[in-house]
Amino acid sequence: MKDGADIDTWLTEDAYLDYLIPQIYWSNQWGENADVTMFTDRLDQFLSLKKNDAKFYVGLALYKTEAARVVNDPGWQLKDNNLAKQIKELKRKGADGYVYFSAQYLFRSCAEKELENIRLSQ
Protein backbone atom coordinates (compact mmCIF):
# COMPACT_ATOMS: atom_id res chain seq x y z
CA MET A 1 0.00 0.00 0.00
CA LYS A 2 1.23 3.49 -0.87
CA ASP A 3 1.00 6.46 1.45
CA GLY A 4 -0.82 9.48 0.09
CA ALA A 5 -2.45 9.84 -3.31
CA ASP A 6 -2.02 7.06 -5.85
CA ILE A 7 -2.38 9.42 -8.80
CA ASP A 8 -1.02 6.87 -11.29
CA THR A 9 -3.85 4.43 -10.55
CA TRP A 10 -6.47 7.17 -10.36
CA LEU A 11 -5.54 8.50 -13.80
CA THR A 12 -4.95 5.24 -15.63
CA GLU A 13 -7.77 2.97 -14.45
CA ASP A 14 -11.43 3.80 -15.01
CA ALA A 15 -13.95 4.08 -12.17
CA TYR A 16 -11.57 5.37 -9.51
CA LEU A 17 -12.78 8.93 -9.79
CA ASP A 18 -15.13 11.09 -11.80
CA TYR A 19 -12.88 14.12 -12.02
CA LEU A 20 -9.58 15.50 -10.85
CA ILE A 21 -8.82 19.11 -9.98
CA PRO A 22 -5.08 19.67 -9.51
CA GLN A 23 -4.35 23.00 -7.87
CA ILE A 24 -2.00 24.66 -10.34
CA TYR A 25 -1.61 27.95 -8.55
CA TRP A 26 1.61 29.20 -10.14
CA SER A 27 2.20 31.68 -12.93
CA ASN A 28 4.56 31.20 -15.87
CA GLN A 29 6.91 33.79 -14.41
CA TRP A 30 7.76 31.84 -11.26
CA GLY A 31 10.95 31.88 -9.24
CA GLU A 32 13.59 34.36 -8.26
CA ASN A 33 14.26 35.42 -11.86
CA ALA A 34 10.64 35.06 -13.04
CA ASP A 35 11.80 32.64 -15.72
CA VAL A 36 10.21 29.31 -14.77
CA THR A 37 7.06 28.32 -16.66
CA MET A 38 5.65 26.66 -13.57
CA PHE A 39 1.97 26.73 -14.63
CA THR A 40 2.62 25.21 -18.06
CA ASP A 41 5.09 22.68 -16.68
CA ARG A 42 2.61 21.41 -14.07
CA LEU A 43 -0.31 21.42 -16.51
CA ASP A 44 1.68 19.32 -18.97
CA GLN A 45 2.77 16.99 -16.18
CA PHE A 46 -0.80 16.30 -15.05
CA LEU A 47 -2.15 15.97 -18.58
CA SER A 48 0.54 13.42 -19.46
CA LEU A 49 -0.64 11.21 -16.57
CA LYS A 50 -4.29 11.14 -17.63
CA LYS A 51 -5.09 7.93 -19.47
CA ASN A 52 -8.70 7.26 -18.47
CA ASP A 53 -12.10 8.87 -18.90
CA ALA A 54 -12.03 11.00 -15.74
CA LYS A 55 -12.75 14.68 -16.30
CA PHE A 56 -9.80 16.98 -15.81
CA TYR A 57 -10.42 20.44 -14.38
CA VAL A 58 -7.72 22.84 -13.23
CA GLY A 59 -7.72 24.79 -9.98
CA LEU A 60 -6.65 28.37 -10.75
CA ALA A 61 -5.29 30.84 -8.19
CA LEU A 62 -7.72 33.73 -8.14
CA TYR A 63 -6.47 34.43 -4.62
CA LYS A 64 -3.03 35.34 -5.99
CA THR A 65 -4.49 38.58 -7.29
CA GLU A 66 -3.99 39.82 -3.74
CA ALA A 67 -0.46 41.24 -3.50
CA ALA A 68 0.26 39.60 -0.15
CA ARG A 69 -0.24 36.15 -1.70
CA VAL A 70 2.46 36.19 -4.39
CA VAL A 71 5.60 35.14 -2.51
CA ASN A 72 8.15 33.64 -4.94
CA ASP A 73 5.79 34.07 -7.87
CA PRO A 74 6.43 37.48 -9.45
CA GLY A 75 4.23 36.70 -12.45
CA TRP A 76 1.23 37.79 -10.42
CA GLN A 77 2.90 41.14 -9.79
CA LEU A 78 4.18 41.59 -13.33
CA LYS A 79 0.97 40.83 -15.23
CA ASP A 80 -2.78 41.10 -14.82
CA ASN A 81 -3.71 38.55 -17.47
CA ASN A 82 -2.31 35.39 -15.91
CA LEU A 83 -5.70 33.72 -15.58
CA ALA A 84 -6.84 34.62 -19.09
CA LYS A 85 -3.68 33.08 -20.55
CA GLN A 86 -3.96 30.02 -18.33
CA ILE A 87 -7.57 29.40 -19.33
CA LYS A 88 -6.68 29.71 -22.99
CA GLU A 89 -3.80 27.27 -22.56
CA LEU A 90 -5.71 24.65 -20.62
CA LYS A 91 -8.54 24.74 -23.18
CA ARG A 92 -6.05 24.38 -26.04
CA LYS A 93 -4.44 21.39 -24.32
CA GLY A 94 -7.73 19.59 -23.73
CA ALA A 95 -8.61 20.19 -20.08
CA ASP A 96 -12.32 19.93 -19.37
CA GLY A 97 -12.60 23.18 -17.43
CA TYR A 98 -11.38 25.12 -14.43
CA VAL A 99 -12.32 26.31 -10.97
CA TYR A 100 -11.13 29.29 -8.97
CA PHE A 101 -9.72 29.36 -5.50
CA SER A 102 -11.09 31.13 -3.70
CA ALA A 103 -14.58 32.24 -4.66
CA GLN A 104 -14.43 35.11 -2.21
CA TYR A 105 -11.99 36.83 -4.60
CA LEU A 106 -14.70 37.09 -7.24
CA PHE A 107 -15.92 40.06 -5.22
CA ARG A 108 -12.61 41.67 -4.23
CA SER A 109 -11.16 44.68 -5.97
CA CYS A 110 -7.72 43.07 -6.23
CA ALA A 111 -9.14 40.54 -8.72
CA GLU A 112 -11.06 42.99 -10.92
CA LYS A 113 -8.39 43.41 -13.61
CA GLU A 114 -7.68 39.67 -13.95
CA LEU A 115 -11.41 38.92 -14.17
CA GLU A 116 -11.96 41.68 -16.72
CA ASN A 117 -9.11 40.29 -18.84
CA ILE A 118 -10.79 36.87 -18.76
CA ARG A 119 -14.07 38.38 -19.97
CA LEU A 120 -12.28 40.27 -22.75
CA SER A 121 -10.44 37.15 -23.92
CA GLN A 122 -13.58 35.00 -24.27
Q: pLDDT tens-digit profile of 84-110?
A: 999 999 999 999 999 999 999 999 999
Q: pLDDT tens-digit profile of 63-74?
A: 999 987 877 789
Q: What is the pLDDT of residue 1?
A: 46
Helices (H) and strands (E) in the chain, counts: 5, 3
Average pLDDT over residues 47-68: 91
pTM of the full structure: 0.89
Count Cβ atoms below 10 Å from residue 112 Cβ, excluding itself. 14
Q: What is the pLDDT of residue 72?
A: 78
Share of the chain above pLDDT 70, in %: 98
Would the pLDDT of 115 be above 60? yes
Q: Residue 29 to residues 39, 55, 64, 103: CA-CA distances in angstroms?
A: 9, 27, 13, 24
